[in-house]
Structure 1
Amino acid sequence: MTEQRDYKDTVFLPRTDFPMKAGLPQKEPGILARWEEQGLYRQLREARAGREKFVLHDGPPYANGDIHIGHALNHVLKDMVVRTQTLLGKDAPYVPGWDCHGLPIEWKVEERYRKKKRNKDEVPPAEFRAECRAYAQHWVDVQREQLKRLGINGDWDNPYLTMDFGAEATIVAELLKFAESGHLYRGAKPVMWSPVEKTALAEAEVEYEDIVSTQIDVAFEIVESPIPELVGAHAVVWTTTPWTIPVNQALAYGPRVAYELVYASDGNRYLVAHELRDEFLKRTGLGVVDAPQQGDVDSTEDVTDWANRHMYLGSKLEGTFALHPIAKLVSLREGGDSQAVEFFLKPRPFLPADFVTTDSGTGLVHMAPDHGEDDFVLCKAHGLTPKFVVEADGRYRDDWAWLGGADERRMSVINPKFNAPDGPICLDLREAGALLSARADYKHSYPHSWRSKAKVIYRCTPQWFVPMDKPLAPAPKGGGSGHDNPPPLGEVAAAPAADGGGATLRSTALAEIERVRFVPEKGRNRIGAMVEGRPDWVLSRQRAWGVPITLFVNRKTGEYLVDPAVNARIVEAVRAKGVDAWTEEAAAELLGPDYDPADYERVTDILDVWFDSGCTHAFVLESGRWPELRWPADLYLEGSDQHRGWFQSSLLEASATRGRAPYDAVLTHGFTMASDGKKMSKSLGNTVDPIKVMGQYGADIIRLWALSVDFTEDHRIGDEILKGVADQYRKLRNTFRYMLGALDGFDYEREGVDPADMPELERYVLGELHALDTTLRRAIADFDFNEYTRALVDFANEDLSAFFFDIRKDSLYCDGEDDLRRRAYRTVLDILFHALVRYAAPVLVFTAEEVWTTRFPDRGSVHLQELSPLPDSWVDPALAERFAGLRALREQVMEAIEPLRREKVVRSGLEAEVAVPAAAVPEGFGDADLAELFITASVTRRQGDGVTVTRTDDHKCGRCWRLLPEVTEDGALCGRCADVIARTDAAV
């Protein structure tokens, strides 16, 4: 055996300084600092100036705390939209913004006061608002740095804030558009009210939690009825809100419901729905005694088995009246307003209502128009008006005949003790002989304040509303209140009804919902159902930190003043001084010489914060402060909860003032759950802090996670999930590392090969790249970033690393530098590099930059690059079909080799001789081609099915390590390597 030469130095091995270990937590901040120093965002604006625009309008996060994982997901998705549109060559600016007004911030400042034992009401309003402004600014600054750390590229030095004076002025101007068009009115109707925060709440500020309430059965003595037998009997109502009994004004019945007069074991007669009779008896523990035979059955239309029962169809109850159960007790007690006492002595009418069902209860519903929407509408139709007896803090008025006064029983109606079976309500009802049952065991869902977590109630108070069903009309020339006959302030005012002519706010919004694109599509039905069924928009809040409702109301007529000159002064004052411009001291100056301030009341309510955010399209897209933006936006993107929040308030505001939505498409994402599918909660200890994740893994890992999950549905995150994402990231990183090393020293001018001259494998891979490009562009258009990321990862792992790279590493290492196959491979690698680094840039923003600058340190940022169309000539369906068949056969071969490798019969496929079914080999591939593509010693064809594998007896080439018949002994050279060495030695 001859002495063997060491051929190590004759083999080309990839060389790169790009490290295998990412070290993202340490590396990313440096890249971020470089982008800021270079002004990357402004560079992009300059590079894309004059191009087709794509405007994503940022929905404002709330400025009150560190970002959470939901913020991270949301902003990564927005960044992905902006970056992919930019990648396509569009001018896609991104102006971030924050919601700065409203209850959550005010509540936090109040908490500080409470700790210092200070009363907010004793602090000058301007001073309090200044503290709210400073609190909001602090968290804007904190969140801005946290979001920048995620790699979100935007105009961070010039964000929009709803508390900027210019923004506040625009919000006021938008409100006054509603006023000038008469599309604003003050009325009294039940709204969701927080007794803890002492303000009305919007549906979007409410969340629902399961609670246990007290359920009671209460008897109302019937004192008048067209059915003589009912007089002296008791109508029974069932309720889970005992606190509303003191403001009962009527009883509702179902006209088609069958009612039964039950002769009970306690000697009384009780009127309940026939279907609910047994449930009523079970709750109360009452028995039934024989009743006189029915002499005159009113109706048996809906009744069976009525023998010995007194049955009545609901429609027969019209004209029936019952006494309030506390009436006699109240009349005997001293104190209380005489009118309030009179209120309880007045008999309650029975009113027909289609909403009464026999699902639960007694089939008779007590009506309190102060505290229920159905109650309000039904009672209003019969001339029964709210009494406004529950105050802002949830307690009954001092002068109210029942439960008023200053004794220990005067507590908030949301206090569990107040409603308990042994609480003041039940004690009094029991004393009056009207309480038939009381149990604190009724489980149900109930609305709570999103911020304070306290229960809310329906409370009737004077509020400002935007009507949903009044025809939209141009601004009136004179004053306008939204009413033909406006009531004095504080009195009940009905919402203006549609007169049948013209588009309403509801119809306009619903038409826009049909026009706008929703991703996913189910969002259309969700917001559509909400808008279709929503009541009039409650604009007013009884708080301090927000944009004021800048209206002057005539003290005599109740009309608000509509004067363009006055409105212009108001807007400019707010532009100069912000919300602090709306003061009593400034009233005379704002009204001007034509009006006497003594004749006008200055409204002190503030606007619903959703109106603020609903106006962002006006002061961000239209103001001119950000000239790179335009109205309307191409896209709004937020969580699915914003169908009832920002999406809807923006839609309603713009539909009323501009006749269309401020967006052309809406993209919604689900919520991030813990790894076990449970809702994240600090109390459960299952939250995932994005700040900590970035410290452990890096921002690119969060980004890869966010863009890998199906974000349109609720999705999960946890330690094991993040470890899986990190492993996925490592594979992608190694793909780039391999390409960087394999392209070391590549010069297209010297090595480049035209695709037409390339081997079939390279041409096939270019075709697959074209297919990937098509998939990714479609995913961008569909905002399907899960598909985008999955396709990119699968291509890198399966098409490249496990297939193309694996096959061609032999050519890269061992072919001569000038060999066509090697040059073609490196040419394709160069094409792949430029494509993949661009594809990956919106996902792995830091890693793509690191990859790009490793190869091209002097070519600026990868994020300035854009995608160029790939040649259609690369598409060869026949070639793709042949290779698809080949790859399927290759998988069978690898599976057949694996058992022998595990048993150490062979160490790798290079030692295997393989026989494959001849029928399974696609046309055009020779046995040598197959051996190269399968990375085996040899391949032969056989008849029949199945793949067989044996160990080869051939010797191993001392340079390329392939086992070939032409190698005479281990360590000798194969023909190819001998030729390469000869040429290399000759060149030396």
Structure 2
Amino acid sequence: MLLCRVSAVSQTLARWGRRSQRGGGGLLLHRALSFTSSRWQDVSSGEGSAQPAEAASAQRLYRDTVLLPRTDFPMKLTGQKLLERELEIQKECGFADLYSWQRERKVKKEFCLHDGPPYANGDPHVGHALNKILKDIRNRFEMLRGRQVHYIPGWDCHGLPIELKALGEMGTSGLSPLQIRQKARAFAEAAIARQKAAFQRWGVMADWDQCYYTYDGAYEAAQLKVFQEMHSKGFIYQDYKPIFWSPSSRTALAEAELEYNADHVSRAIYATFPLITLPPKIASEILLLTGLESVSVLVWTTQPWTIPANQAVCYMPNAQYSVLKRADNSQLLLVATERAASVAALLGTELESVGTFTGSQLEGGICKHPTIPDKEVPLLPANHVTMAKGTGLVHTAPAHGMEDYSVASQFKLSVECMVDEDGKFTELAGPELQNLSVMTEGTDKVISMLKDCGALVKEEQCVHSYPYDWRTKQPVVIRPSKQWFINTASLKEKAKDALQKVRVLPESARGSLLAMLDRRTYWCISRQRSWGVPIPVFYHRETGDPLINKHTVSHIATLFKEKGSDCWWELPIETLLPAEVLKKVTGPVTDYVRGVDILDIWFDSGASWAAVLEDSRADAYVEGKDQIGGWFQSSLLTSVAVRNKAPYKSLVVHGFAVSEKGEKMSKSVGNVVDPDAVINGGKVSMPAYGADVLRWWVAESNVFSEVQIGPSALNSARDGIGKLRNTLKFLLGNLQGFDPRVQAVDPKEMHYIDQYMLHLLREYSIKVTDAYSEFDAGRAIRVLQAFIARDVSSLYFSIIKDRLYCDPKDSLGRRSCQTVLEEVLDGVTRSIAPILPHLAEEVYLHTLFKSGWIKSSSVWRRPGLEEAVEGACAIRDSFLSSIPGKNAAQYDLTVAIEPGLLFELMESLQEEPSSTTSQLVELMMVARVNLTSKLPRDLPSDALLSHGTFLINLEGGVIREDSAYSIAVVPTSAARCPRCRRYTAESADCLFINKWSCI
């Protein structure tokens, strides 16, 4: 049965293939991506190695009969020519109109990539390039594969950085909110114009006349509708509670607007709070153990300035606490037992344990405040107390800590704010502290006061992570303020459930997203600035009660859509309030004033789904990892609150652009790479690389980690494109005059190696399509480079050059080869088009992006054929390994295979026992191949012998055979043909004569 199956396979292969009409010959494995093999250099240039004059004369005689590649496609474009060519291509190929064209065509599927709005506060930078080009690669891929791309670029236009930059040295002194807004808008518009021009130069496909801007009235109206929905559902509320406050910018901040400085240095202190009322449960025991000596609670804090606001000392109910006696001064200190050893080492003295109690037994104890006479503070239980640092007893100032505030809410403690908007103590802190900056001289004074009253036990420098304002780079404080909040605690579980249905790339980023949600108990959305969307609320002059409902918000949204949000300051209150509300208002309208706070810009941008996507969901959001706590999260929370679903089906989280040394880019360090300088050339030894090099850099990088850029990365990108141009030039040169519409050859009539190349092209197209689908353009480039270097250049080009150059122009063998080259050119060019649109259009001009993705055919997959060619290639590798550094064309090769499947597969490539023209000869690139069942006994003494095996696996493993083969290599006795350069002629001045001769 096996022999029958083998015979059937052999017959099938014979039907697929066409017996060779011309021989192979050729070279050793030549360098990847070479334009012409060295055997043909003297034909094209008229130069060559030393040779007899008669032979050289014969070569010149036949030079013009060789069909060498001809094309105007340049091997290299550099400098000004490169820049001019890219701009010409953008114009000639309609880059500006491509997005509109694809939106107008009728297709069944849409791909929506929602653009996260870059901030309109400066020039374009490499971070923009990384993000925008990454998005454009995916959009162009989706358009090529036949989907209608929905991509509306946008800009985040409000907020403090723009306001500060617009005002410059002038500040807000003497300017009305409308004047501030006018200057800020002008600044944002100028920044948008610069960024937009850069994005277009990078080749980013979009309708640049239909972008979205967060300062547009229509956008603001959509945002207010989201606000109104969330307010109606109870997610938005006003409260007085601690928030992150930036004294340097005088506004509240959200978690996403903080940067944590790991090198911040605080003056940490250990201070005592004397116990004036012992805990009832252990009072008698303490007295018995200590006599009448007083016990003090020892606390530790890195923020001494908060001591005046202390309202309690917290303990952990289930921990152990000890009264410790200092050996050096007999002072009695209450400390967590677990922290006793660390405290003793810190104080430099022994601490003797007098008694130990559980935390719950401390209930009811009352301490004396160290710096405020007659003030008493209770001992209270709290779950946030830890034993990692300090004393296990936590100084609690509800006005200046989130967890402290939770304790105050539970036990009804006072939340008095002693710090103003400039970060200075108010009169509530007392005359000694009033007007002192809490982070500097205020801290000095509090520590001095603790020393004076004997409460300071120890001071130390503490280096720790501390929140800074991400814009001003200055420390923030926590202080209570009346603000508007989103109750994220009530949204968290819904948001987590929605996130579980979202695909996250890389998957490791999902944990960070969930962790960020966990840490966010509430979101402060009000800001004390002028440049933004005003919170649509009115306040009663006397009571301060807010007036806000669905009618007021809807009415204001309508006004914003018509007039823009400037009308909040321009129109009288009776116009801002709708008629149905005015009727119900008791008292005159003048009893109300409009609010002066604006919405957090993260709410601005987080509502973009409502303005841009409407009721649909985006297929993808693609932004940097900083948006895990920013836009990704604000978009998720607002969408879940209003629509009960995430606004995105997938999230792609990329890294940051960093210097070649992996450092953060900084103007002061001098390692900033300007994308404009990358394209057009820089002042300091940076050549003009052009836009495609910038795009290749993005694509080639591992965007899921930090992305390095510098001369090495850019030169690597340029070299990669150069090698690709080399291959494209070879393909174009050999396709001159070929019309695939009438001259293409049916795959079934092709040489086996040609059919095999189509099979490899199909495999390549599948791999590269999968890579793009995974947002992995880097893998697409690696697949491309491997395909070109290994399959196209080193294998196929090296084998077919004789057929291309020397076969008759219209011969079936040459047309077969050209048909494959046309398919390879088409497939390679389309596959790199998303990354290199300028180069792709330089090859195709005007048509590529409107003509679809790679057109591979299932007919190209040829089981059996693959085994035949790869079996021959295994033998070829053994042969080439036996003659390292020598010219394969100068040898005769004998291949001995015992009867079986491998022998029959080789017979399908060479029917005759000996041939100089078979497909097997072409594959081996030799002068002659002898195919036999065993090596002859009378081999020359200089014959090179080697052996190998090849595993044949057909029909999913039904047919398996591990076949052995032997080869013998001897120098050929034939002469070199002066026309085709193959060693097949009878003499040096004689042409290779046979049925498919050189004449």
Which TM-score tier does this pair reach, normalised by the shorter chain? 0.7 to 0.9
Contact persistence 1:254–1:352 (CA under 8 A)? yes
- Give 1:590 deviation, angstroms: 1.6
Question: What stretches of structure 2 of length at least 5 have no aligned partner?
Answer: 1-53, 288-292, 681-687, 936-944, 949-965
Q: Read off the aligned partner of 2:109 and give its amino acid letter.
A: E
Give the match's secondary structure for 2:313.
strand
1:346 and 2:400 aligned: no
Contact persistence 1:548–1:606 (CA under 8 A)? yes
Q: 1:196 to 1:917 in 2, by over 3 A?
A: farther
Contact persistence 1:258–1:274 (CA under 8 A)? yes
Contact persistence 1:838–1:865 (CA under 8 A)? no
1:293-304 alignment to 2 at 5 Å?
none
Q: Which residue of 2 aligns with 1:196?
A: 248
Query: 1:114-173, CA deviations, whole angstroms, 9 ceiling, x for partnerless residues?
Result: 2xxx34142111011110000000000000011111110101122111111221222223
Q: Which residue of 1 aligns with 2:38?
A: none
Measured in 1, the distance between the counterparts of 2:64 and 2:391 equals 94
Q: Which residue of 2 aligns with 1:215?
A: 268
Q: Read off the aligned partner of 2:148 and give its amino acid letter.
A: D
Task: Return the match for 1:640 from 625, 633, 655.
Answer: 625
1:33 and 2:33 aligned: no
- Give 1:949 deviation, angstroms: 6.1
Measured in 1, the distance between the counterparts of 2:820 and 2:216 equals 53
Q: Which residue of 1 aligns with 2:306?
A: 244
Query: 1:665-698, CA deviations, whole angstroms, 9 ceiling, x for partnerless residues?
Result: 2222122232233333333333322221112211
Task: Return the match for 1:358 from 365, 384, 387.
Answer: 387
Task: Return the match for 1:970 from 958, 974, 988.
Answer: 988
Q: 1:939 to 1:363 in 2, by over 3 A?
A: farther
Q: Read off the aligned partner of 2:990 and give its amino acid letter.
A: A
Q: Which residue of 2 aligns with 1:448?
A: 468
Measured in 2, the distance between the counterparts of 1:934 and 1:191 equals 76
Contact persistence 1:896–1:947 (CA under 8 A)? no
- Give 1:449 deviation, angstroms: 1.5
Q: Read off the aligned partner of 1:810 and give its amino acid letter.
A: D
Deviates more, 1:454-463 or 1:82-91: 454-463
Q: Which residue of 2 aligns with 1:320?
A: 365
- Give 1:565 deviation, angstroms: 4.1
Measured in 2, the distance between the counterparts of 1:279 and 1:584 equals 63
Contact persistence 1:959–1:977 (CA under 8 A)? no
Q: 1:894 to 1:389 in 2, by over 3 A?
A: farther
Q: Which residue of 2 aligns with 1:107?
A: 164
Q: Which residue of 2 aligns with 1:782?
A: 774
1:326-341 alignment to 2 at 5 Å?
326-328=371-373
Query: 1:731-790, CA deviations, whole angstroms, 9 ceiling, x for partnerless residues?
Result: 111111111111000023542211111111111111111112222332333333222222
Q: Which residue of 1 aligns with 2:520?
A: 534
- Give 1:425 deviation, angstroms: 2.0
Compute the TM-score of the two structures, normalised by the length of structure 1.
0.84
Contact persistence 1:815–1:976 (CA under 8 A)? no
Q: Read off the aligned partner of 1:188 and give its amino acid letter.
A: Y
1:577 and 2:563 aligned: yes
Q: Which residue of 1 aligns with 2:701?
A: 709
- Give 1:469 deviation, angstroms: 4.2
1:957 and 2:982 aligned: no
Measured in 2, the distance between the counterparts of 1:130 and 1:896 equals 79
1:911 and 2:902 aligned: no
Measured in 2, the distance between the counterparts of 1:729 and 1:530 equals 41
- Give 1:50 deviation, angstroms: 4.2
1:476-491 alignment to 2 at 5 Å?
none
Q: Which residue of 2 aligns with 1:331?
A: none
Q: 1:719 to 1:172 in 2, by over 3 A?
A: same
Task: Return the match for 2:417 from 345, 367, 388.
Answer: 388
Measured in 2, the distance between the counterparts of 1:675 and 1:912 equals 49
Which structure has the higher relative contact order (CA within 8 Å, separation 6+)? 2
Contact persistence 2:765–2:854 (CA under 8 A)? no
Q: 1:91 to 1:749 in 2, by over 3 A?
A: closer
Task: Return the match for 2:121 from 64, 67, 72.
Answer: 64
Task: Return the match for 1:617 from 609, 619, 622.
Answer: 609
- Identical columns (%): 37
Task: Return the match for 1:55 from 103, 112, 137.
Answer: 112
Task: Return the match for 1:935 from 925, 947, 960.
Answer: 925
1:799-948 alignment to 2 at 5 Å?
799-853=791-845, 860-867=846-853, 869-898=855-884, 901=885, 906=886, 908-913=887-892, 923-924=905-906, 925-926=909-910, 929-938=919-928, 942=945, 944=947
Measured in 1, the distance between the counterparts of 2:234 and 2:571 equals 27
Q: Which residue of 1 aligns with 2:132?
A: 75
Give the match's secondary structure for 2:981.
coil
Q: Read off the aligned partner of 1:435 and give its amino acid letter.
A: L
1:10 and 2:65 aligned: yes
Q: Which residue of 2 aligns with 1:728?
A: 720
1:641-680 alignment to 2 at 5 Å?
641-680=626-665
Q: Which residue of 1 aligns with 2:453?
A: 432
Measured in 2, the distance between the counterparts of 1:654 and 1:176 equals 13
Task: Return the match for 1:89 from 143, 146, 167.
Answer: 146
Deviates more, 1:33-42 or 1:261-270: 33-42
Query: 1:303-325, CA deviations, whole angstroms, 9 ceiling, x for partnerless residues?
Result: xxxxx632222111111111111
- Give 1:915 deviation, angstroms: 6.5
Measured in 1, the distance between the counterparts of 2:506 and 2:229 equals 33
Measured in 2, the distance between the counterparts of 1:155 and 1:831 equals 32
Measured in 2, the distance between the counterparts of 1:611 and 1:76 equals 26
Task: Return the match for 2:317 from 233, 255, 260.
Answer: 255
Q: 1:793 to 1:92 in 2, by over 3 A?
A: same
Measured in 2, the distance between the counterparts of 1:166 and 1:727 equals 47
Q: 1:576 to 1:849 in 2, by over 3 A?
A: same
Q: Which residue of 2 aligns with 1:798?
A: 790
Give the match's secondary structure for 2:997.
helix
Query: 1:621-671, CA deviations, whole angstroms, 9 ceiling, x for partnerless residues?
Result: 23xxxxxxx722222111122121111111111111122122222222122
Task: Return the match for 1:272 from 330, 335, 344.
Answer: 335
Contact persistence 1:549–1:605 (CA under 8 A)? yes
1:166 and 2:200 aligned: no
Q: Which residue of 1 aligns with 2:511?
A: 525
Q: Which residue of 2 aligns with 1:482?
A: none
Q: 1:276 to 1:785 in 2, by over 3 A?
A: same
Contact persistence 1:917–1:944 (CA under 8 A)? no
1:746 and 2:725 aligned: no
Q: 1:390 to 1:36 in 2, by over 3 A?
A: farther
Measured in 1, the distance between the counterparts of 2:881 and 2:453 equals 85
